[in-house]
Copies of this chain bind each other. A is one copy, B any other.
Amino acid sequence: MTVTKIEEAGNTTPPEQLLADRGRRPEGSVVDVGGVRIGGREVIVIAGPCAVESREQINETARAVKRSGARMLRGGAFKPRTAPYSFQGLKHEGLQLLSQAKHKTGLPVVTEVMDTREVEAVCEHADVLQIGTRNMQSFELLQEVGRAAKPVLLKRGMSATIKELLYAAEYILKQGNQDVILCERGIRTFETATRNTLDLNAVPMLQRLTHLPVVVDPSHGTGKWWMVPIMAKGAVAVGADGLLVEVHNCPEEALSDGDQSLRPDRFEAMMRDLRGVALAVGREIASATQESLKEVVEAQPAYSNA
């Protein structure tokens, strides 16, 4: 094989410094999503259901999280599930429901794309393309979103090292897309008391190594709704640039991940509690007004998760 052939096959000399290297932008990168700036002084909270299940569910949840200070809406249309017999998401219909919720609330939308062939369709509806933990090293998919015109939220593989996460980001950056947000979401360890082990060490370590913003998902990182507000405080305290939180208007009926989804009133309480922690570390966080809080409480008197 000639050198030319290797180059044709996609090889290039690695740069002296990775594109993701902190040294390239010591001040850190800010990813702008329709005016919401991730990587700045404000800690950005992205909230919503694990999966989009119905128009009513996504709209109601979107309104609730917005009232409480969420700046973006999350929700899965394409759902990667361990078993093929589990709910796989509403797919294209789910994308449309997300679009509608976005138009009603003004919240930009983050949703997962699992297949290179769907990147174009997801781009039409999403403001941020999410790469899930199971696809962190699906290199063709990384390159495809690297050629898209939308920011990418890249979740750490559940057993990926920090170095591997940076190289996965590099696949995206190398294609030209500079808007990459990294997400720590818990790693797989021997511990079974929690769904995953939330590796908050990864936040300062990533911020030392790369200029890309880093957000934390305490929902998958714990697997238990009552732990989410506590670990969210930890994430903000160690310097996370944002949070990804599962909220469902009725967790006990959720088609996936109900155990780790917050009810809207608990999400509201979490947002209030986070404000002090954010201030203590020189950051700020959007919070609900008293009115909006009252509205939430009155509107939904019958929450039942204990």
* Residue positions of A touching B, CB distance < 8 A: 1, 5-6, 9-15, 53-54, 57, 80-91, 93, 114-118, 134-135, 137-141, 158-159, 161-164, 167, 170-171, 174, 187-194, 197-205, 208, 221-222, 226-227, 230-231, 233-239, 255, 273, 276-277, 279-281
Residues of B within 8 A of A230 (CB): 203-204, 238-239
Within the complex, the shortest CB–CB distance from A166 to chain B, in Å, comes to 9
Contact assessment for A233 and B227 in the assembled complex, using a CB-CB cutoff below 8 Å: no
Within the complex, the shortest CB–CB distance from A222 to chain B, in Å, comes to 6
Residues of B within 8 A of A205 (CB): 193-194, 227
Contact assessment for A5 and B93 in the assembled complex, using a CB-CB cutoff below 8 Å: yes
Closest to A12 in B: B85
Within the complex, the shortest CB–CB distance from A254 to chain B, in Å, comes to 12
Residues of B within 8 A of A159 (CB): 158-159, 188, 190
Q: How far is the CA of A226 from the CA of B238 in the complex (A)?
A: 12
Closest to A238 in B: B234
Closest to A93 in B: B5
* Best-surrounded residue of A171, A189, A198, A255 (most CB of chain B within 10 A): A189
CB-defined A-B contacts under 8 Å, sample of 29: A9-B89, A9-B90, A9-B93, A14-B85, A80-B137, A80-B139, A82-B137, A84-B171, A85-B170, A115-B116, A116-B117, A138-B138, A159-B159, A159-B188, A187-B191, A188-B190, A191-B202, A193-B201, A194-B201, A197-B197, A197-B199, A198-B199, A198-B201, A200-B231, A233-B238, A234-B234, A236-B237, A279-B280, A280-B280
